[in-house]
Amino acid sequence: MPLDNKNNGAADAVKTGTSTLGNAFGGLSKAVGGTVGAAGRGVGDTINNTTGTKAVGDGLQSLTGGVEDGANSVGKGVENAGQGKKTW
């Protein structure tokens, strides 16, 4: 019986599993980042409007925006890694 590269059952199963996990963890990371970013924008706007001082509210928005961007980047990297794509 000739051997060929068409039967990759185990490799395909592993790739499917890692892709599923990568998508799940990547999506979770991006969702958490989005939640933190949205909360920071909301609280920052409230601080700016309530106190009339933009420095604190803008600083909070900048900080949580950075967390959101970082979480999105990590999430996308995890998804790509799960699909066997280069992450750098």
Q: 64 near 44, Cβ under 8 Å?
A: yes
Domain range for 47 is 37-81
Angle at which helices 54-82 and 9-51 cross, to 10°: 170
Three-class SS of residue 31?
helix
Residue 6, pLDDT above cutoff 60: no
> Whole-model pTM?
0.71
- Domains held by the chain: number: 1
Instruction: Please report whether residue 5 resides in a domain.
Output: no
Question: Does residue 55 sit within a domain?
Answer: yes
| Tens of pLDDT, residues 46-72 | 999 999 889 999 999 999 999 999 999
Residue 22 lies in a domain: no
